[in-house]
Chain A
């Protein structure tokens, strides 16, 4: 490793390329934006002129040998991994590549049920069998927590043939499991550990933040650089450890990833990695400070509960990501999704998501104190103007799934469409989820119960954006014959 973290090879190659004024007789056909005036004006000349194709001076994402390879080596070093892959299909694609690397058809994988849809999608693709660990639930907040080490141990004991354990590090709400102990346990039984770190990029750079998966010894991690890392939407990183063969991972990635990787995304990964490596520590110190301030101000309003490390219980909440601004809203008689809608519609404030009982405001590299003041004041105003009795409010809850067949078998099985109300007792062949957060209420192969149906109807009434089924209105569901 000869390059320093001050370098950004992809970015530098693009700057050099721009100066060369190469005549384009290749794709993309807009030819540096000249062929698409409106787009050029909208995105800016510089931006469209850098939307170029793979070529010798710029390397090729499918088979990196020069600047992309260097950028990947720098990323691996910055994140403490053996190898890093720049990804342009979102963290969804990083998660899928991770699962597809670890599992073949019929292999068992141990995972918490509150995973992102991309994980179960990967199981549909490869035919692996999920062994769910039901996460602990905080009954007041109604959120699913991390996996207890004892639960993972139990699952490993019952499924000694499983090949991998997947861990959310952290969950969307900022909850971390004891990843170090889980890694030790899994490795002792010859299983790989995969970490979904869609919400944990900053763990690699901050002080006093929860443990980062690769540094704790995980085998693979999917890291959403575009969330807390500051790169462009859809760019991501896949990290691998010393026991994983990078050549095989590369083959897996190339099964589904585009052969026309966007240089806008790649350069954003390169520049953001450099930024994190050089300034990440001080940046996330500021983010933490801002989040602590926001929590104190929101808790001072009364009625809201902006939670933090006090939840830590040494097991199912082994640690908490203090940069996450999660706020419990049910005490003021409003569902999280209602507060989320009011913030956007009445106060021009867009937050990450609202669910039945909570809202989540995403804080990162780009936030300003004055915007925190707006959020806190808007929440105070919402309480003053819209507060009502809690009666009739459903608490969010985690409903343990009954897995009947594997996601892949269920997805491809013969099926029929039934009105929602008539589906109780049947096996679902598709996903149902609120998006965000994108954690399935039902996944393919799971039994539909009255409780689940009540939950779906309630969430829909409260205005959650529901996705998954073929029927967009979710009035009917596909069930197995």
Chain B
């Protein structure tokens, strides 16, 4: 018997993983949630049929989303994570002792519940006493927040799902307002490769550039995402992502990582020429 999970990456491109068995399937108020087990990628989570993470390659995404801003900001104590119900970003953040408080705003309680039960690899640190979970629309949560956070990490699904509001100008503007005067925002920035993803990527960049004085993009390689080539946004009120990187200090923390290094940190901001052009086009 062969059982395959397939996701359309475009109208004409499909990506498939052979499934050993389905561990969970359910419908929340917001989306359909599924967890599968596979030989190649271990367990993986999908929302409305779109792959969110696999056990095998999630470290790339979560390390790069977390350690890049953590190595730039000199003293991040209060962090906001928007989305991220699988707990991967939280797991990385809780490795830093100096962080005092992490607020996580996830719209869908069922994603957290399912992750805790079936994805302990990422959801393992959601019980950390510094973590406070709010089940709310991120856009609503941030509307009334002023100069509270040192770092905001936006770890959401693609626009089209319940995360649609997290790709808007009003959201990025609200994040600016919710950050302290040296705050940093890192966000899921889609992919530059396929046309439709690339258009979203450009729109997102345009909106962030309009809201933050410093706005740079960096790249990662996530094998199970469309094209395998994914971008993150680094938007900041004060710190430059490469010039203000304090490599010595970060390495002193002694955190062991599998993807992130301070050398890769600088390299990740060097983008392919065509991506540079796309970004420049909307700046």
Contacts and interface: CB of A to CB of B under 8 A. Distances in A.
B157 to A, nearest CB: 13
Contacts of A376: 140, 143
Interface stretch (B165-173, B236-244, B262-270, B275-283): B165-173
Interface string B155-177: 00000001011001111011001
Contacts of B171: 377
Contacts of A311: none
Nearest to B139: A373
Contact of B173 (A301, A373, A381): A381
Q: How large is the interface on B (under 10, 10 to 19, 20 to 34, 35 or more residues)?
A: 10 to 19
A475 interface: no
A377 B170 contact: yes
Interface in A39-57: none
Interface in A359-417: 369-370, 373-374, 376-378, 380-381, 384-385
Contact of B170 (A297, A300, A380): A380
B143 A384 contact: no
Contacts of B177: 384
Contact of A377 (B162, B164, B174): B174
A369 B138 CA distance: 12
Given A369-B137, A370-B137, A370-B162, A380 B169 contact: no
B140 to A, nearest CB: 5
Given A297-B140, A369-B137, A374 B168 contact: yes
A470 interface: no
A392 B169 CA distance: 29
A334 to B, nearest CB: 16
A376 B177 CA distance: 15
A373 B140 contact: yes
Nearest to B210: A346
Interface residues of A, number: 17
A373 B166 CA distance: 11
Interface in A335-352: 346-348
A381 B137 contact: no
A373 B143 CA distance: 9
Interface of chain B: mostly helix, strand, loop or mixed: helix
B178 to A, nearest CB: 11
B160 to A, nearest CB: 11
B12 interface: no
Interface string A278-311: 0000000000000000000100110000000000
Interface string B235-257: 00000000000000000000000
A220 B241 CA distance: 68
A374 B173 contact: no
Contacts of A380: 143, 170, 174
A300 B144 contact: yes
Contacts of B140: 297, 373, 376-377
Given A347-B170, A381-B173, A381-B174, A373 B144 contact: no
A294 to B, nearest CB: 11
B173 A348 contact: no
A381 B174 CA distance: 7
A31 to B, nearest CB: 29
B173 A384 contact: yes
Contacts of A378: 168-170
A301 B177 CA distance: 14
Looking at A297, A369, A370, A376, the one whose CB has the most chain B CB atoms below 10 A away is: A370
Contacts of B137: 369-370, 373
A347 B144 contact: no
A104 B32 CA distance: 61
A156 B152 CA distance: 65
A186 to B, nearest CB: 47
Nearest to B30: A370
Nearest to A377: B170
Contacts of B139: 370, 373-374, 377
B165 A370 contact: yes
B168 A347 contact: yes
A374 B170 contact: yes
Interface in B106-135: none
A385 B170 CA distance: 11
B165 A385 contact: no
B53 to A, nearest CB: 23
Nearest to A378: B170
Nearest to A301: B143
Contacts of A301: 143
A201 to B, nearest CB: 28
Contacts of A381: 169-170, 173-174
A381 B177 CA distance: 9
A380 B143 CA distance: 7
Contacts of A370: 137, 139, 162, 164-165
Looking at A348, A369, A377, A385, the one whose CB has the most chain B CB atoms below 10 A away is: A377
Interface string A309-347: 000000000000000000000000000000000000011
B143 A348 contact: no
Contacts of B144: 300
B126 to A, nearest CB: 24
Contacts of A374: 139, 165, 168, 170
A369 B144 CA distance: 17
Interface in B42-81: none
Interface string B190-219: 000000000000000000000000000000
A297 B144 CA distance: 10
Contacts of B165: 370, 373-374, 377
A385 B140 CA distance: 18
A385 B164 contact: no
A381 B173 CA distance: 7
A300 B143 CA distance: 10
Nearest to A373: B139
A369 B137 CA distance: 9
A62 B172 CA distance: 55
B174 to A, nearest CB: 6
A339 to B, nearest CB: 13
11 contacts: A297-B143, A347-B170, A348-B168, A370-B139, A373-B137, A373-B140, A373-B143, A374-B165, A376-B140, A377-B140, A378-B170
Interface of A: 297, 300-301, 346-348, 369-370, 373-374, 376-378, 380-381, 384-385
Question: When A and B form their complex, which 6 residue pairs have the shortest distance between CB atoms, in order from nearest?
Answer: A377-B170, A378-B170, A381-B173, A373-B139, A381-B170, A373-B140
Given A370-B162, A374-B139, 11 more contacts: A297-B140, A301-B143, A347-B168, A347-B170, A348-B168, A348-B169, A369-B137, A373-B139, A376-B143, A377-B139, A381-B173
